[in-house]
Structure 1
């Protein structure tokens, strides 16, 4: 037992040191920073997957505190997100949770950590970096429009620009949520193959063509659509903001379902693989059609019909 505990402490110290090195690279080295950012949670994920939760939490806390000494206080927000992400990923792997559970837990952790830090900055330090970023974007856009108008003689109506930025501000919750879960997906995609090589048992993700959303998503979409059609929330009201943000998240999910169905059709009929890339690119401007395809696939299970056609 003492030997095991000594080994756990020793490996914990090694993982903390490796985490700090990766954080320093992510924070200070411009070109390497992107790669270092995605692999920085790896040491803590490995440790959390190998040892029990109490030891893993202790090592994570020490890593967070020690990270302050490799830089200034500005590094702390990144450290909190990456350290807690590594802890959660490793904990899910140790408990042998499903791939869906791992993805949801990771995305929720990143989102909550980001939201808590944002609220602390706004509440106690009166720093709203999201608002400041939007103001900066608005000023930059205004200058670019003024420059464009001076060349072409055509000026974008002020109302149209205000509507665009107001819509962007209202839909920030949905945009942030989608971004955080996309970040979680990228981190999992990068780290799981490495953890597998390090002898950690990792779940396998099914091919994208087999992606199937819960059918309840369809009911949520119908409820939101009904509110938009029959209640018609007043612009700027709380209900309007909630419905608009839910709509955006559901649009993205159902569009992904539609793209997945297209990939399924391409594989089922053995069409050239490059059509997957082409169809995914084309799906962006034609998202309305792809979204409808996702709704039909989810509601009527088109895949069985396609599979039956391919067997004839």
Structure 2
């Protein structure tokens, strides 16, 4: 009976995935939104059935993807199906935060592997394409009579080169964001399907591991040294620094939500701070500093003690 249920539900979920994948790849206008639902069928399978059964559906979906969209279909399935199965596995264990961490790592690893595969096997030089696009943009500005000075051009080239070195940190941060969006969208759908998952603690209670402050300090000190651009230590320090910058910003926003709740301030305030910290770099710096102080000096604990 269980085997029959698995075969029936597996077939239905594969059909659902096939429809979603088709819409995502061939109708980009709605595909941008539907993309985050691609992991849902795999989350359901992993939640309700064993790892072996989940992997069976996983490999079947890869074959199906090849029929629907060839290489792009397989790549998309590798990214979202892998994350979905890992997240569903941890949801079943009532470990929601572990599910999000596993999803983040999965998105990061699969995206990095596919990026490397594109460069290695398809001989597509992505940094070269970015450089070529940059040169075309400069030529376009010059043809329109916009004069770009040598110093400004040199600065733009340096910024472009730095952006290329930051690909690993972009993959990491993108993985984290994708995992959270997947969780938010799929958890709403799962509740409608009466699949119970443990909710995350309120954002105001989130806090990073305290030892991250030391890694952040080391990365910051390394960035102060005149490391050779393009060297291993330069790229490593740059990426760790920017990933932890992102993490400290999240810590700072969490503190803003905590403090607003502690002082019984309107919920609109922390939301506005979040929005404007994305738009305004100087406000983001302030939020990040708050995060560093909160993590390094147990600021929340001290505020709670003062309130007693």
> Do both share a fold (TM > 0.5)?
yes
Structure 1, unmatched stretches of 5+, are none
Q: Which residue among 233, 247, 252 is the counterpart of 2:246? A: 252
Alignment partners' CA distance in 2, 1:143 and 1:270:
55
Contact 2:103 2:175 (8 Å CA) reproduced: no
Contact 1:39 1:187 (8 Å CA) reproduced: yes
- Could you say which residue in structure 2 is the equivalent of 1:296? 293
Q: Which residue among 233, 236, 253 is the counterpart of 1:239? A: 233
Contact 2:294 2:300 (8 Å CA) reproduced: yes
Task: Report deviation, 1:282.
Answer: 3.6
Task: Answer yes or no: is 1:131 the counterpart of 2:127.
Answer: yes
Task: Report deviation, 1:45.
Answer: 1.2
Task: Report deviation, 1:72.
Answer: 3.2
- Could you say which residue in structure 1 is the equivalent of 2:20? 22
Residues 188-230 of structure 1 show CA distances to partners (whole Å, capped at 9, x for unaligned) of 111012112222231211121111000011111122233344x
Task: Answer yes or no: is 1:103 the counterpart of 2:100.
Answer: yes
- Could you say which residue in structure 2 is the equivalent of 1:164? 159
Task: Report deviation, 1:95.
Answer: 2.8
Identify the range of structure 1 (171-180 vs 244-253) with the bigger mean alpha-carbon deviation.
171-180
Contact 1:268 1:310 (8 Å CA) reproduced: no
Alignment partners' CA distance in 2, 1:236 and 1:73:
32
Alignment partners' CA distance in 2, 1:227 and 1:135:
27
Residues 131-190 of structure 1 show CA distances to partners (whole Å, capped at 9, x for unaligned) of 255235413541454267x25x56462211111111111112112211122111111111
Alignment partners' CA distance in 2, 1:154 and 1:15:
55
TM-score after normalising by structure 2: 0.91
- Could you say which residue in structure 1 is the equivalent of 2:118? 121
The 1:188–1:143 alpha-carbon spacing in structure 2 relative to 1, beyond 3 Å, is farther
Number of aligned pairs? 304
Q: Which residue among 266, 279, 282 is the counterpart of 2:273? A: 279
Contact 1:269 1:310 (8 Å CA) reproduced: no
Contact 1:107 1:181 (8 Å CA) reproduced: yes
1:65-104 paired onto structure 2 within 5 Å: 65-96=63-94, 98-104=95-101
The 1:108–1:272 alpha-carbon spacing in structure 2 relative to 1, beyond 3 Å, is same
The 1:146–1:244 alpha-carbon spacing in structure 2 relative to 1, beyond 3 Å, is same
TM-score after normalising by structure 1: 0.90
Structure 2, unmatched stretches of 5+, are none
Contact 1:146 1:155 (8 Å CA) reproduced: no
SS class of match (1:220):
helix
Task: Report deviation, 1:51.
Answer: 0.5
Task: Answer yes or no: is 1:179 the counterpart of 2:174.
Answer: yes
Task: Answer yes or no: is 1:270 the counterpart of 2:264.
Answer: yes
1:209-228 paired onto structure 2 within 5 Å: 209-228=204-223
Contact 1:171 1:244 (8 Å CA) reproduced: yes
Task: Report deviation, 1:289.
Answer: 2.4
Task: Answer yes or no: is 1:142 the counterpart of 2:138.
Answer: yes
